């Protein structure tokens, strides 16, 4: 860590009644390879004898390391991820209550205990792979922060040998440093871990000095804002205490009615929980870009949550209720990162929507769960409509198509069974029927682990006759990703047309559109503005910031005043903004000036002009950076979008932590718009040609109606 790390290496003060299970500077096994380990690398019985070993701190690019990791021959294209494992012994788990994970990492990390995720720091929500980037780069003032995560010992530890596994991720492939140190402590049952003592005030003072020396720098200004938020200093909106209502309105009962599964997580007092909700309200009121977008009466919903807390509450149940509260904003990016206390088992079935009905597939999508009867009628005798309603209560009130997409995954969760009054055993029964209802049957499925989708490389290319087909399964980053896109395009130079398939791509970075759009531009074309956004300002800056706030981490959004633009580009941006109108008027005084992302032919020097027709395949599983990708190509000459409307989401996230419960969550601090003036959130990007899918399209070996339609259209031309 820069020099600041040495002063911050000590963990917060701890109570005397504790046991150190893993000390700092402990010996770890680690894998510093571009090739990821096996899928079960977090499991206790994983064979890691071939991994390297050495004492913590571990990493590269920092002083005072106990072990230095390798990162390959190209410092501009390092592997994004490194993996670490450490075993420790526990004689009697029943004698332990809370576990404290004290984590230092650069940039982000996911922590697993005996194969189960227990902590996530500066990482996006959802599935994590070796190409997943950390949410943001860690600046020098934050590198010394010790992040505390408290988890219950019950159901996570076992007698004998236990293993803690950590994957550390970089924010980008050219990052100069990577770092991990971790301490694991435990307290007996009934002993409350001491309150976390942060470094917010000291960091604020340091950032104030840095800001005074470099007031116009983007990263410095962003760090100045974040330091003030962490210290809760100078925030624009003060939260006024309100009486807690005696009754919970019917519209908010879904927040308060549960969870109904047994919660064995660590409990916090009602006073501590209410203080955390005050903190949450303060962060939403000051930092959350989409707090007012939908006009939701979120303070009333938050008061209903307050009213639901009658006494001590488990932090897992507490998080469950807050997650339901967050659904009222309709922003899928803003969320908590997992809930380790929830039932981990899943219904091992893949669910998909066909119109208003649900199709059930085998986990590998090789066939319907019941051949000849693909549609779900009921689960455990309860109509599937009630399961869908329960699932809707759990997912954010996003665009209709993305909410439907989220429900498909939510139906696998055993938590829904508890909410519907079913105490799940080892099996659940699904009642199934054919389209006409004449063929019916019941299939029993054994409750198991989460159904994971087929692993795809980020980029794959093939030809279907004279037509090129470019599949992009995730919006990855770095030279290997952009190089694969350039290589694919070189192979498609002489094709008669091109299909770009981004179906199910949940997002990532903007590297794909920066790489590909220049191929569809001609020499001399002006820049194309593809995204407009503004940064939610929690407090007023002492002076204007000409470089803005949103270009960090390669996002590529800069205000017209930024030095990244030349005079001609600046004039183009100003002319665009003069007539551009957002469909949602941002609340006055709460946001920065407009930032724009613009792409020119020069953005990718390797690009040639591809003048043949292009069809992009999309669906409701396209989200975040993939929405931006589709928005940039919507209406572009020679490009046709085909499929169904994308999910709808675009944001730059900031992380927060509830002071007492210690729960980590993210809020979107950027309002993002397409050039049409619509927000991506709640809308998505509609196709030019809509394609309706059939149940057979969901099967791995079935037909592909959308691809067949695209190929037919290109061949006709």
Please name the helix (run of DSSP H) or strand (run of DSSP E) that holds residue 481, with its range, or none.
helix 479-491
| Cα–Cα distance, 148 to 707 (Å, whole number) | 48
Per-residue pLDDT band at 19 (split at 50, 70, 90): confident
Domain boundary among 410, 426, 446: 446
SS3 category, 697: helix
Instruction: Identify whether residues 133 and 79 lie together within a single domain.
Output: yes
Instruction: Identify whether residues 194 and 206 lie together within a single domain.
Output: no
CB 69 within 8 A of CB 30: yes
We report the CATH number of the domain holding residue 373 as 2.30.42.10
User: In this predicted structure, what is the pLDDT of residue 274?
Assistant: 96
The per-residue DSSP string of 625-639 comes to HHHHHHHHHTT-TTE
- pTM (predicted TM-score): 0.83
pLDDT surpassing 80 at residue 125: no
- For residue 514, being part of any structural domain is answered with yes
Instruction: Identify whether residues 623 and 480 lie together within a single domain.
Output: yes
Per-residue pLDDT band at 454 (split at 50, 70, 90): low
| Cα–Cα distance, 331 to 290 (Å, whole number) | 7
- What's the Cα-to-Cα distance from 261 to each of 257, 324, 409, 424, rounded to whole Å? 11, 15, 19, 10
| Chain centre distance of CA 180 | 21
- What's the Cα-to-Cα distance from 526 to each of 259, 568, 575, rounded to whole Å? 55, 10, 13
The average pLDDT across 348-376 equals 95
| Cα–Cα distance, 257 to 266 (Å, whole number) | 20
| Cα–Cα distance, 402 to 353 (Å, whole number) | 12
- What's the Cα-to-Cα distance from 303 to each of 252, 297, 573, 600, 657, rounded to whole Å? 10, 10, 43, 49, 20
| Cα–Cα distance, 71 to 147 (Å, whole number) | 25
Instruction: Identify whether residues 289 and 432 lie together within a single domain.
Output: no
Instruction: Identify whether residues 51 and 155 lie together within a single domain.
Output: yes
The average pLDDT across 679-700 equals 95
φ/ψ of residue 489, rounded to 5 = -65, -35
| Cα–Cα distance, 467 to 711 (Å, whole number) | 7
CB within 8 Å of 100: residues ≥ 6 apart: 14, 18, 148, 149, 150, 184, 185, 186, 187, 193
Angle at 192 between CA 142 and CA 168, to 5 degrees: 35
Instruction: Identify whether residues 361 and 228 lie together within a single domain.
Output: no
Task: Tokens for 234, please give them.
Answer: 């100078």
User: In this predicted structure, what is the pLDDT of residue 330?
Assistant: 95
Instruction: Identify whether residues 501 and 397 lie together within a single domain.
Output: no
| Cα–Cα distance, 69 to 91 (Å, whole number) | 33
User: In this predicted structure, what is the pLDDT of residue 17?
Assistant: 56
Q: What are 382-396's pLDDT values in tens digits? A: 999 999 999 999 999
- For residue 616, being part of any structural domain is answered with yes
SS3 category, 8: helix
Q: Which of 134-148, 161-175, 348-362 is predicted with the least confidence, judged by mean pLDDT?
A: 134-148
Instruction: Identify whether residues 142 and 267 lie together within a single domain.
Output: no
Task: Tokens for 642, please give them.
Answer: 């085909």
The per-residue DSSP string of 305-346 comes to HHHT--S-EEHHHHHHHHHHHHGGG--TTSEES--TTS---B
User: In this predicted structure, what is the pLDDT of residue 452?
Assistant: 65
| Cα–Cα distance, 285 to 291 (Å, whole number) | 7
Per-residue pLDDT band at 15 (split at 50, 70, 90): very low
- For residue 9, being part of any structural domain is answered with yes
| Cα–Cα distance, 50 to 64 (Å, whole number) | 26
CB within 8 Å of 219: residues ≥ 6 apart: 139, 552
pLDDT surpassing 50 at residue 545: yes
| Cα–Cα distance, 333 to 342 (Å, whole number) | 20
- For residue 394, being part of any structural domain is answered with yes
Angle at 551 between CA 549 and CA 557, to 5 degrees: 95
Please name the helix (run of DSSP H) or strand (run of DSSP E) that holds residue 82, with its range, or none.
strand 81-90
Domain boundary among 391, 414, 446: 446
Q: What percent of the chain has pLDDT over 90?
A: 70
Q: What are 193-226's pLDDT values in tens digits? A: 766 555 677 778 878 888 888 777 888 888 889 8
We report the CATH number of the domain holding residue 491 as 3.90.226.10
| Cα–Cα distance, 38 to 61 (Å, whole number) | 27
Task: Tokens for 624, please give them.
Answer: 């975040």
Instruction: Identify whether residues 376 and 361 lie together within a single domain.
Output: yes
| Cα–Cα distance, 266 to 699 (Å, whole number) | 42
φ/ψ of residue 202, rounded to 5 = -70, -40
Instruction: Identify whether residues 140 and 217 lie together within a single domain.
Output: no
CB 450 within 8 A of CB 441: no
pLDDT surpassing 60 at residue 377: yes
- For residue 160, being part of any structural domain is answered with yes
Burial of 452 (0-12, 13-18, 19+ CB in 10 A): exposed
pLDDT surpassing 90 at residue 455: no
φ/ψ of residue 586, rounded to 5 = -65, 140
Task: Tokens for 486, please give them.
Answer: 């350039």
- What's the Cα-to-Cα distance from 278 to each of 167, 282, 313, 469, rounded to whole Å? 33, 6, 16, 52
The parent domain of residue 465 ranges over 456-525+601-649+685-717
SS3 category, 81: strand
Please name the helix (run of DSSP H) or strand (run of DSSP E) that holds residue 275, with its range, or none.
helix 270-287
SS3 category, 617: strand
Instruction: Identify whether residues 609 and 700 lie together within a single domain.
Output: yes
We report the CATH number of the domain holding residue 187 as 2.60.120.260
Return the closest-CA partner of residue 569 out of 581, 219, 577.
577
Instruction: Identify whether residues 52 and 143 lie together within a single domain.
Output: yes
Q: How many domains does the chain have?
A: 4
Alpha helices in 376-473 (DSSP H): 384-394, 400-410, 415-419
- For residue 489, being part of any structural domain is answered with yes
Give the pairing type, strands 614-618 and 497-501.
parallel
- For residue 230, being part of any structural domain is answered with yes
Burial of 479 (0-12, 13-18, 19+ CB in 10 A): middle
User: In this predicted structure, what is the pLDDT of residue 73?
Assistant: 85
- For residue 480, being part of any structural domain is answered with yes
CB 37 within 8 A of CB 129: no
Per-residue pLDDT band at 511 (split at 50, 70, 90): very high
pLDDT surpassing 60 at residue 4: no
CB within 8 Å of 690: residues ≥ 6 apart: 643, 644
CB within 8 Å of 367: residues ≥ 6 apart: 361, 699
Q: In what order do the strands lie in the sheet with 116-121?
A: 52-55, 27-31, 81-90, 160-169, 108-113, 116-121
Domain boundary among 446, 480, 502: 446
């Amino acid at each position: 860590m820069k020099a600041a790390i040495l002063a911050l290496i000590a963990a917060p003060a701890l109570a005397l009644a504790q046991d150190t299970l893993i000390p700092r500077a402990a010996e770890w096994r680690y894998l510093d390879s571009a090739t990821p380990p096996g899928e079960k690398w977090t499991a206790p019985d994983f064979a890691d004898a071939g991994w390297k070993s050495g004492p913590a701190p571990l990493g590269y690019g920092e002083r005072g390391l106990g072990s230095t990791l390798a990162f390959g021959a190209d410092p501009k294209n390092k592997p994004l991820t490194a993996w670490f494992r450490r075993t420790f012994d526990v004689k009697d788990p029943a004698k332990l209550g809370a576990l404290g994970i004290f984590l230092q990492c650069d940039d982000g990390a996911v922590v697993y205990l005996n194969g189960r995720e227990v902590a996530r720091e500066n990482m996006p929500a959802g599935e994590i792979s070796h190409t997943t980037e950390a949410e943001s780069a860690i600046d020098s003032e934050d590198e010394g922060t010790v992040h505390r995560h408290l988890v219950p010992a019950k159901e996570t530890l076992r007698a004998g040998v236990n293993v803690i596994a950590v994957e550390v991720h970089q924010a980008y492939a050219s990052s100069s440093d990577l770092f991990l140190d971790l301490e694991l402590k435990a307290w007996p049952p009934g002993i409350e871990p001491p309150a976390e003592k942060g470094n917010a005030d000291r960091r604020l003072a340091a950032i104030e000095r840095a800001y005074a020396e470099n007031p116009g720098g983007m990263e410095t200004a962003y760090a100045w804002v974040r330091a003030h938020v962490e210290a809760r200093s100078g925030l624009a909106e003060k939260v006024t205490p309100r009486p807690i209502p005696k009754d919970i309105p019917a519209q908010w009962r879904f927040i308060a009615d549960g969870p109904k599964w047994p919660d064995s997580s660590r409990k916090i007092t009602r006073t501590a929980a209410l203080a955390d909700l005050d903190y949450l309200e303060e962060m939403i009121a000051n930092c959350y870009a989409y707090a007012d977008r939908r006009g939701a009466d979120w303070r009333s919903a938050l008061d209903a949550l307050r009213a639901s807390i009658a006494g001590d509450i488990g932090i897992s149940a507490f998080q469950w209720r807050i997650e339901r509260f967050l659904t009222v904003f309709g922003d899928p990016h803003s969320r908590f990162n997992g809930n380790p206390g929830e039932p981990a088992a899943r219904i091992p079935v893949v669910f998909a929507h066909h119109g208003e009905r649900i199709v059930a597939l085998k986990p590998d999508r090789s066939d319907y769960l019941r051949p000849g009867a693909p549609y779900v009628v009921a689960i455990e005798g309860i109509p599937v409509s009630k399961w869908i309603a329960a699932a809707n209560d759990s997912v954010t009130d996003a665009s209709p198509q993305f909410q439907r997409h989220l429900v498909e995954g939510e139906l696998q969760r055993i938590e829904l069974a508890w909410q519907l009054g079913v105490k799940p055993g080892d099996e659940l029964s699904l009642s199934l029927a054919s389209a006409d209802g004449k063929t019916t049957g019941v299939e029993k499925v054994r409750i198991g682990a989460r159904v994971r989708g087929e692993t795809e490389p980020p980029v794959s290319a093939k030809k279907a006759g004279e037509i090129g087909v470019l599949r992009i399964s995730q919006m990855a980053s770095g030279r290997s990703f952009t190089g694969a896109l350039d290589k694919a395009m070189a192979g498609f130079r002489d094709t008669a047309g091109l299909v770009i398939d981004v179906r199910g791509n949940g997002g990532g970075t903007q590297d794909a559109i920066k790489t590909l759009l220049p191929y569809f531009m001609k020499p001399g074309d002006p820049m194309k503005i593809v995204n407009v956004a503004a940064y939610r300002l929690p407090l007023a800056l002492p002076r204007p910031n000409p470089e803005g706030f949103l270009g960090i981490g390669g996002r590529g959004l800069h205000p017209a005043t930024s030095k990244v633009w030349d005079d001609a580009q600046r004039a183009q941006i100003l002319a665009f903004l003069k007539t551009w109108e957002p469909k949602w008027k941002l609340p006055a005084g709460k946001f920065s000036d407009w930032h724009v992302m613009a792409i020119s032919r020069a953005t990718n020097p390797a690009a040639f002009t591809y003048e043949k027709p292009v069809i992009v395949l999309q669906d409701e599983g396209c989200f975040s950076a993939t929405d931006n990708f589709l928005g940039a190509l919507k209406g572009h000459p020679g490009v046709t979008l085909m499929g169904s409307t994308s999910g709808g989401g675009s944001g730059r996230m900031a992380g927060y932590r509830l002071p007492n419960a210690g729960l980590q969550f993210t809020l979107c601090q950027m309002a993002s718009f397409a050039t049409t003036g619509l927000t991506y959130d709640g809308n998505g990007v509609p196709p030019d040609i809509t394609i309706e899918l059939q149940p057979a399209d969901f099967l791995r070996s079935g037909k592909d109606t959308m691809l067949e339609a695209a190929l037919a259209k290109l061949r006709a031309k």
